[in-house]
Amino acid sequence: MSEDSSGEEARKTVRGLKGTTGRWLASSTIIAVGLILGGFALGDGLKRAQRADRAVTVKGLAEQDVTADLATWTISYSATAPDLATAQASVDRDTAQIAAFFRELGFPADALQPTGVNVNQTKDNGIVSFTVRQRVSLRTTDIKRAENAVRRQFDLVRRGVILEEGSGMAYTFTRLNDLKPRMVAAATRDARAAAEQFAKDSGAEVGAIKNAAQGYFSIEARDGDSGGGWGQSDTPYKKVRVVTTIDFYLK
């Protein structure tokens, strides 16, 4: 082999080594850049995950005053006599007086309905007595008229009707479903306001809702407990209340 041929072979070998080295360096550079970019992406992803985990749990309250739209008055009365016929006649007289009372107050005849009767026989020292207990119920949507009836209930006593314990007016609000959407929205706004105050104090901002749980709706007396007294078992003036629990993202 000539000297020229040997030189050419050497030059080819050198060029081959340079090409291999270049390709290796290029591959290494690409891998390094990929690792760097991957590291940045991983770090940014971790930061985003940490931000996504930042949340605050708050409660929102919504209340609304309402007036009952249904009044129900269950009236219980009884009479005791040595014989059943006399006891029944006394109860019938009271029933007529009760019907007249409500008729004079302007209630329609079908507003008052019998809801039950009970007869009890007892014997004391050989003396037999009969007790007849009657229950009638007034059901009306005329709340003002119902309130007037409660205020004048002592007129029944003047007529000789003795109302038994538990004979009281109960007022009910039946249109809760009409209020639910806007009350839930109001409770949500209240919760967001609380979350925004928390975020402001901690140097963050409130994001979207993470989780939300609607509490139970409650309907209570507007001015506190009005239970108790004879014929004063309830009030038509109610307060509807709902509490929601919401998790907000912080960003």
Give the per-residue pLDDT at 240: 94
Rounded Cα gap, residues 150 and 222, in angstroms: 19
Stretch among 44-53, 89-98, 198-207 having the lowest mean pLDDT = 44-53
Rounded Cα gap, residues 116 and 134, in angstroms: 6
Reference 162, options 79, 72, 74; nearest CA is 79
Q: Which residue has the higher pLDDT, 233 or 74?
A: 74
Give the per-residue pLDDT at 175: 93
C-alpha dist (Å) from residue 56 to 84, 143, 244: 71, 44, 14
Residue-wise pLDDT tens digits, 160-170: 998 888 788 89
Give the per-residue pLDDT at 230: 39
Give the per-residue pLDDT at 215: 85
Reference 75, options 204, 168, 189, 173; nearest CA is 168
Give the per-residue pLDDT at 225: 59
Structure token digits, residue 178: 């009409």
- The mean pLDDT value for 196-220 works out to 89
The helix/strand/coil state of 223 is coil
Amino acid type, 81 = A
- The mean pLDDT value for 58-87 works out to 94
Say what the pTM is: 0.68
Split at pLDDT 50, 70, 90, the class of 4 is: low
Contact 143, 68 (CB under 8 A): yes
The helix/strand/coil state of 148 is helix
Q: Which residues contact 180 (CB under 8 A, 6 or more apart)?
A: 217, 242
Give the per-residue pLDDT at 30: 58
Rounded Cα gap, residues 132 and 245, in angstroms: 53
Nearest 5 degrees, angle CA 43-CA 48-CA 50?
A: 95
% pLDDT > 70, the chain = 75
DSSP letters, 98-118, are HHHHHHHTT--GGGEEEEEEE
